[in-house]
């Protein structure tokens, strides 16, 4: 597997991003980006560390206690990096750090300082400046620190906004990383499909995913895996994954790895015994047909809300054809009757975060159309609760979602997860 190394995207690309970012800043401003804090799990144990997504996007650096500062004057912009010092005792317990000297070699910034110097430098950087950019989701303690030094500042702006906008369009290197993530995720889904008959609990399937993810160099899952058998699939964020698998059930598996800080997000719904019942097949085929039809519409210029509308219309029509809803499709859509069975969105941006925090609307509130380089999921579903007396009995207790990760290309789209099996005949054995 290529690219086991964490630093896969080149410093030159990060530098380019920093340049684009600083171009968007106002004159006489300072922008400051902090690394994520290490988070306590309990007492003196910590959660595995994960870098702040925007900070990672601008640096590719995965250490905590790290800060990027941009100082923009009337003519010039300077960029500075603060890193934690090399400290033998610290390193004995917590591992090696890059340190100032190595950081100077790796990062193409104007200067690298020790993290402990941040407060004193900040004072100088902020002199005569009027605007301060920081991530509005920053921990309160850091905001307090910033405001202490920002006496002259009259305008505070959210530094996350321009970065989130930049993150909408993926570079070749980012797309390559997502593809790597998907290679591993494909492997895990295919192994789960093969092994399902022999397994007894949802968590055994989850374990297969986690094993394959780590075994193949992914750092973690991109989100908590959903392994929802039978009626559990009707809980959209089901993550208990502790039920016993039953015969003739469908199992909805929404699981994808994070590889070098890029997500994959895939759902497949498979039969527990390798065979669909007739009712399961009917519902599954409907969701699959809708998913394919929506994916086929993707191209630059298309609005995501139109994909949503079309998916709702197609699913509603299918629900009527199967006798799950009754009446005219037009009226049912108007009443939102279909939302009982399809309550969520058709998809979302994906990248460093599984739900990439990039904008869906521009500054004026107008929807941003699809553009080449965007990556989004397409994930229609149908969910019929076991106690839903309005639905025909044979469909009750079935939840189905099918989700792929799509790259918008210049001409249309590329389904990056196309090779992960989803046809009925591929899932039956
Ligand atoms: N796995 C979360 C989602 O599909 O959005
Ligand atoms: Mn998704
Ligand atoms: Mn998903």
d(CA 286, CA 288): 5
**Segment among 1-10, 163-172, 185-194, 243-252 with least mean pLDDT:** 1-10
- Ion ligand 3: residues, CB within 5 A, are 254, 265, 267, 403
**Paired tokens of 5:** 């190394």
- Ion ligand 2: residues, CB within 5 A, are 265, 377
Angle between helices 118-126 and 140-149 (to 10 degrees): 50
**How are strands ordered across the β-sheet holding 375-378?**
375-378, 404-408, 413-415
Q: Is the CB of 356 under 6 A from ligand 1?
A: no
Angle between helices 172-195 and 202-215 (to 10 degrees): 140
In this prediction, residue 105 carries a pLDDT of 97
Q: Of 64, 265, 312, 405, which one is the catalytic site residue?
A: 265
Do 408 and 259 touch, CB atoms closer than 8 A? no
Rounded distance from Cα 264 to ligand 2 centre (Å): 9
Half-sphere exposure of 185 (CA within 13 A, CB side): 34
The reply to whether 11-166 and 172-427 are identical in fold is: no
Residue 415 dihedral angles phi and psi, to the nearest 5°: -80, 105
8 or 208: which carries more pLDDT confidence? 208
Active site (annotated) includes residue 11? no
Give residue-wise pLDDT tens across range 5-57.
455 799 999 999 999 999 999 999 999 999 999 999 999 999 999 999 999 99
| Mean pLDDT computed over 265-273 | 98
In this prediction, residue 329 carries a pLDDT of 98
In this prediction, residue 3 carries a pLDDT of 37
Active site (annotated) includes residue 189? no
400 or 149: which carries more pLDDT confidence? 400
Atom of ligand 1 nearest to the CA of 226: 1
In this prediction, residue 5 carries a pLDDT of 42
Other beta carbons less than 10 A from residue 277's beta carbon:
16
**To which residue do tokens 């669909």 refer?**
276
Residue nearest (by alpha carbon) to ligand 1 atom 3: 265
Rounded distance from Cα 153 to ligand 2 centre (Å): 40
Q: What percent of the chain has pLDDT over 90?
A: 95
Residue nearest (by alpha carbon) to ligand 1 atom 4: 265
Q: Is the CB of 265 under 6 A from ligand 1?
A: yes
Residue 86 dihedral angles phi and psi, to the nearest 5°: -80, 130
Residue nearest (by alpha carbon) to ligand 1 atom 5: 355
Classified as helix, coil or strand, 407 is strand
Does CATH place domain 172-427 in 3.30.70.1140? Answer: no
d(CA 93, CA 7): 23
In this prediction, residue 7 carries a pLDDT of 54
- Please give the C-alpha separations between residue 238 and each of 217, 232, 241, 266, 380, in angstroms, as whole numbers: 26, 7, 7, 15, 17
User: Is pLDDT above 80 for 179?
Assistant: yes
| Mean pLDDT computed over 251-274 | 98
Active site (annotated) includes residue 383? yes
**To which residue do tokens 């409907």 refer?**
286
Mean pLDDT of the chain: 96
| Mean pLDDT computed over 402-427 | 98
Do 222 and 403 touch, CB atoms closer than 8 A? no
| Mean pLDDT computed over 142-155 | 91
| Mean pLDDT computed over 338-353 | 98
d(CA 83, CA 67): 7
Give residue-wise pLDDT tens across range 361-399.
999 999 999 999 999 999 999 999 999 999 999 999 999
Residue nearest (by alpha carbon) to ligand 1 atom 2: 265
Atom of ligand 1 nearest to the CA of 223: 1
Active site (annotated) includes residue 353? no
- Please give the C-alpha separations between residue 198 and each of 195, 202, 246, 427, in angstroms, as whole numbers: 6, 12, 12, 15
User: Is pLDDT above 80 for 2?
Assistant: no
User: Is pLDDT above 60 for 406?
Assistant: yes
DSSP class per residue in 52-108: -HHHHHHH----SS-EEEEEE-SS-EEEEEEEPPP-HHHHHHH----HHHHHHHH--
Give residue-wise pLDDT tens across range 56-113.
999 999 999 999 999 999 989 999 999 999 999 999 998 999 999 999 999 999 999 9
In this prediction, residue 151 carries a pLDDT of 87
In this prediction, residue 8 carries a pLDDT of 77
**How are strands ordered across the β-sheet holding 226-229?**
226-229, 250-254, 267-271
Give residue-wise pLDDT tens across range 291-322.
999 999 999 999 999 999 999 999 999 999 99
Per-domain residue ranges of the chain: 11-166, 172-427
Do 188 and 209 touch, CB atoms closer than 8 A? yes
In this prediction, residue 420 carries a pLDDT of 98
Q: Is the CB of 349 under 6 A from ligand 1?
A: no
Rounded distance from Cα 301 to ligand 3 centre (Å): 25
Does residue 251 come out as left (phi exceeding 0), alpha (psi in the -120 to 50 range) or beta? beta
Q: Which of 181, 209, 223 to mutate to test ligand 1, by most ligand atoms within 8 A of the CB atom?
A: 223
Q: Is the CB of 379 under 6 A from ligand 1?
A: yes
In this prediction, residue 6 carries a pLDDT of 53
User: Is pLDDT above 90 for 4?
Assistant: no
**To which residue do tokens 């009259």 refer?**
154
Active site (annotated) includes residue 403? yes
| Mean pLDDT computed over 158-184 | 98
Active site (annotated) includes residue 47? no
Active site (annotated) includes residue 289? no
How confident is residue 1, by pLDDT bands cut at 50, 70 and 90?
A: very low
Active site (annotated) includes residue 356? no
In this prediction, residue 227 carries a pLDDT of 98
- Could you tell me which residues are beta bridge partners of residue 429? none
In this structure, CATH architecture of domain 11-166: 3-Layer(aba) Sandwich (3.40)
In this prediction, residue 85 carries a pLDDT of 96
């Amino acid at each position: 597997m290529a690219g086991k190394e964490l630093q896969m995207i080149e410093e030159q690309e990060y530098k380019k991003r920093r340049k684009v970012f600083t171009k968007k800043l106002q004159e006489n401003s300072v922008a400051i980006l902090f690394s994520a804090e290490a988070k306590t799990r309990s007492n003196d144990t910590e959660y595995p560390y994960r870098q702040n997504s925007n900070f990672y996007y601008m640096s590719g650096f995965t250490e905590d206690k790290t800060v990027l500062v941009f100082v923009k004057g009337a003519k010039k912009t300077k960029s500075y990096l603060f890193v934690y010092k090399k400290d033998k005792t610290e390193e004995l317990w917590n591992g090696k750090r890059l340190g100032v000297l190595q950081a100077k070699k790796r990062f193409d910034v104007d200067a690298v300082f020790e993290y402990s110097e941040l407060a004193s430098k900040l004072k100088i950087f902020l002199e005569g400046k009027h605007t301060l950019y920081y991530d509005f989701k920053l921990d309160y303690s850091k905001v307090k620190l910033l405001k202490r030094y920002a006496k002259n500042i009259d305008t505070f702006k959210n530094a996350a906004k321009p970065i989130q906008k930049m993150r909408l369009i993926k570079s070749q290197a980012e797309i390559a990383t997502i593809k790597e993530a998907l290679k591993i995720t494909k492997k895990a889904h295919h192994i789960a499909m093969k092994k399902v008959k022999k397994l007894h609990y949802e968590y055994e399937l989850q374990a297969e995913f986690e094993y394959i993810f780590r075994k193949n160099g992914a750092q973690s899952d991109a989100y908590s895996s959903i392994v929802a058998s039978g009626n559990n699939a009707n809980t959209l964020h089901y993550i208990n994954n502790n039920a016993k698998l039953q015969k003739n059930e469908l199992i909805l598996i929404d699981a994808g790895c994070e590889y070098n800080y890029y997500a994959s997000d895939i759902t497949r719904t498979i039969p527990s015994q390798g065979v669909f019942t007739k009712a399961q097949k009917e519902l599954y085929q409907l969701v699959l047909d809708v998913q394919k039809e929506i994916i086929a519409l993707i191209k630059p210029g298309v609005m995501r809300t139109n994909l949503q509308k079309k998916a709702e219309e197609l699913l509603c029509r299918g629900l009527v054809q199967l006798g799950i809803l009754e009446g005219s499709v037009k009226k049912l859509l108007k009443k939102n009757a279909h939302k009982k069975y399809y309550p969520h969105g058709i998809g979302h941006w994906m990248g460093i975060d599984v739900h990439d925090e990039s904008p869906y609307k521009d500054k004026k509130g107008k929807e941003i159309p699809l553009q080449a380089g965007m990556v989004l999921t397409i994930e229609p579903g149908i969910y019929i609760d076991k106690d839903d007396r309005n639905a025909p009995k044979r469909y009750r207790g079935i939840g189905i979602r099918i989700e792929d990760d799509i790259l918008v290309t210049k001409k249309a789209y590329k389904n990056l997860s196309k090779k992960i099996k989803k046809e009925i005949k591929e899932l039956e054995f």
